[in-house]
């Protein structure tokens, strides 16, 4: 970079400032959910709004647009996947998107979103969808205005999807989801009697869970030099810097979900941790899409954690619960398939149906094909049709997730894309690395971790999601490996019960 033009240095300086503001905002958010005393909430909202506003000013500065124009020649002189060309290309994409949205619209969306969040909490307390309704109506209106800013020629939902899954088209998602639905609904119906998972119910002291989870994560590659684990209400992972990764979880003493959520969040954290260090303080220094991010967390939660290798340690950590439980019983329980009312509690097979019904309803809302007043019934109808379940009330139904309080349409589908991508990546990893289960039994996690770093993580946002997937697996988004994996898993898991 010694012969880089002055403009490129200036671009990096500006991008560094934007990144620093985003990371500082990230710390405000992390702290709010993990450490902040409750009364801090009011001032914190002001602090976050101020930093977001300043970041938006920097992101849309005309001088930034001019720099990016001046650097077109410089970009063309470099290989498309080089640091230099990728920075300019991705920064331009971000800039061109950011300038389309007036500050006033963005501020109004933020304001309505934070009011909507409070309304959602109250609507849940009162079990009354009508409390959320006006904010959802206004949110939908603002979402349509947002879409109009891009004047899309194709499906308006494409605009929303692009925010989370750059370059992905609604039609592609729909095709994948239709294929999943066609297979998953009968697959679930075939599970007449779920396996016994009573061994997963009991009293699990939070401190024992934490110690066990940390021991597992350390074996996987977490270290105290650049990671932390803290308590929160709704688990998440946050990168304050590629060398400062914060995982959060919530240990409930009546279940092991907190441990599984640590493993899930580890996948997110590892992605951010293994981005090429040269990308630090640039827009390349994060995961390429929500779907790819979720693929990482799903891989560690489902493919790595649901194997058998850690059971001896778990048994040692919680002897009174597990000393009499054979490995096979535990393993079958951990991989149990049974429709659940809550998306976040659901197993690998039913999970995608929770997502598909939300995706379909988002598209209907955007198209005006469903009246918002009818949304609770529409939600319940699909729960019945896809999962055979009847929500007891709106809290189990349409108010289940926080997402529509905002309403961040376009996000939900990426959860299912993550599942699909995770199996595509997993199969390639096995093809390259051999029997991972055996390696894990020996405590060897570095091969998988390094494989992910080399093939996926280091790229950050330098490649587009589908381009990255194709480079790694030779294929674009493809639901077949995921379906084959589920069929196989369902067969294995139920072999004992059936036999």
Residue 55 beta carbon to a copy of itself: minimum distance, rounded to whole angstroms: 10
Tokens of 167: 């370059």
Q: How far apart are CA 395 and CA 267, in angstroms?
A: 29
Tokens of 6: 């002055």
Measured from the CB atom, is 56 or 89 closer to a copy of itself?
A: 56
Phi-psi domain of 330 (left: phi exceeds 0; alpha: psi -120 through 50; beta: other): alpha
Residue 214 beta carbon to a copy of itself: minimum distance, rounded to whole angstroms: 14
Q: Are 128 and 78 in contact (CB under 8 A)?
A: no
Sign of CA dihedral 129, 131, 132, 136: positive
Measured from the CB atom, is 242 or 397 closer to a copy of itself?
A: 242
Q: How far apart are CA 454 and CA 470, in angstroms?
A: 15
- Residues of the shown chain interacting with a copy of itself in the complex, contacts defined by CB under 8 A: 16-17, 20-21, 23-25, 27-28, 31, 35-40, 42-44, 46-47, 49-51, 53-54, 224-228, 240-245, 280-281
Residue 30 beta carbon to a copy of itself: minimum distance, rounded to whole angstroms: 9
CB-based contacts of 487, cutoff 8 Å, min separation 6: 187
The two most distant CA atoms of the chain are separated, in Å, by 71
Residue 224 beta carbon to a copy of itself: minimum distance, rounded to whole angstroms: 6
CB atoms within 10 A of CB 454: 13
Measured from the CB atom, is 45 or 149 closer to a copy of itself?
A: 45
Q: How far apart are CA 428 and CA 271, in angstroms?
A: 17
Q: What is the DSSP letter of 396?
A: T
CB atoms within 10 A of CB 480: 14
From 150, 481, 71, select the one nearest 295 (Cα to Cα).
481
Q: How far apart are CA 316 and CA 457, in angstroms?
A: 34
Q: How far apart are CA 292 and CA 13, in angstroms?
A: 28
Q: Residue 227: phi, psi to the nearest 5?
A: -135, 160
Q: Could you list the active site residues?
A: 265
Measured from the CB atom, is 279 or 494 closer to a copy of itself?
A: 279
Residue 83 beta carbon to a copy of itself: minimum distance, rounded to whole angstroms: 18
Residue 37 beta carbon to a copy of itself: minimum distance, rounded to whole angstroms: 5
Measured from the CB atom, is 31 or 396 closer to a copy of itself?
A: 31
Phi-psi domain of 128 (left: phi exceeds 0; alpha: psi -120 through 50; beta: other): beta
Residue 242 beta carbon to a copy of itself: minimum distance, rounded to whole angstroms: 8
Measured from the CB atom, is 47 or 255 closer to a copy of itself?
A: 47
Query: Could you give the count of Cα atoms lying within 13 Å of 115 in the half-sphere of its Cβ?
Result: 15
Measured from the CB atom, is 23 or 127 closer to a copy of itself?
A: 23
CA 111 to chain centre: 24
């Amino acid at each position: 970079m010694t012969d880089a033009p002055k403009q490129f240095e200036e671009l990096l300086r500006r991008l560094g400032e934007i990144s620093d503001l985003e990371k500082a905002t990230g710390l405000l958010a992390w702290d709010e959910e993990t450490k902040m005393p409750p009364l801090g909430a009011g001032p914190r909202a002001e602090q976050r709004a101020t930093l977001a506003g300043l970041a938006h000013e920097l992101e849309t500065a005309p001088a930034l647009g001019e720099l990016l124009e001046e650097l077109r020649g410089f970009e063309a002189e470099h290989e498309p996947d080089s640091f230099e060309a990728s920075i300019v290309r991705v920064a331009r994409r971000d800039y061109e998107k950011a300038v389309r949205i007036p500050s006033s619209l963005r501020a109004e969306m933020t304001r309505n979103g934070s009011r909507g969040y409070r309304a959602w909490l109250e609507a849940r307390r009162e079990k009354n969808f009508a409390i959320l309704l006006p904010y959802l109506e206004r949110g939908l209106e603002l979402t349509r205005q947002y879409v109009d800013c891009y004047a899309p020629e194709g499906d308006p939902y494409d605009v929303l999807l692009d925010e989370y899954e750059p370059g992905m088209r609604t039609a592609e998602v729909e095709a994948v989801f239709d294929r999943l639905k066609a297979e998953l609904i009968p697959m679930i119906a075939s599970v007449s009697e779920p396996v016994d998972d009573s061994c997963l119910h009991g009293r699990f002291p939070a401190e024992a869970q934490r110690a066990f989870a940390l021991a597992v994560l350390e074996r996987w590659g977490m270290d105290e030099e650049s990671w932390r684990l803290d308590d929160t209400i709704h688990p998440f992972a946050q990168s304050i810097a590629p060398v400062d990764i914060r995982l959060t979880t919530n240990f409930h003493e009546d279940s092991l979900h907190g441990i599984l959520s640590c493993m899930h969040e580890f996948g997110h954290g590892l992605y951010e941790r293994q981005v090429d260090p040269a990308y630090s303080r640039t827009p390349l220094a994060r995961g390429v899409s929500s779907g790819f991010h979720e693929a990482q967390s799903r891989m560690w939660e489902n493919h790595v954690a649901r194997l058998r290798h850690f059971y001896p340690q778990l048994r040692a950590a919680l002897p009174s619960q597990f000393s009499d439980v054979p490995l096979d019983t535990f393993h079958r329980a951990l991989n149990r398939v049974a429709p659940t009312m809550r998306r976040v509690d659901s197993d690998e097979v039913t999970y995608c149906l929770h997502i598909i019904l939300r995706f379909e309803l988002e598209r209907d809302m955007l198209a005006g094909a469903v009246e918002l007043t009818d949304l609770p019934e529409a939600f319940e109808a699909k729960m019945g049709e896809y999962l055979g379940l009847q929500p007891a009330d709106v809290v189990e139904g349409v108010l289940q997730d926080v997402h529509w309080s905002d309403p961040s349409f376009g996000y939900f589908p990426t959860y299912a894309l993550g599942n699909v991508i995770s199996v595509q990546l997993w199969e390639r990893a096995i093809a390259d690395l051999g029997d991972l289960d055996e390696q894990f039994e020996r405590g060897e996690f570095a091969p998988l971790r390094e494989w992910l770093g080399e093939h996926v993580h280091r790229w950050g946002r330098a490649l587009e999601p589908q381009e990255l997937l194709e480079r790694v697996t030779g294929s674009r988004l493809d639901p077949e490996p995921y379906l084959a994996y589920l069929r196989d898993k369902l067969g294995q898991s139920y072999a004992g019960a059936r036999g």
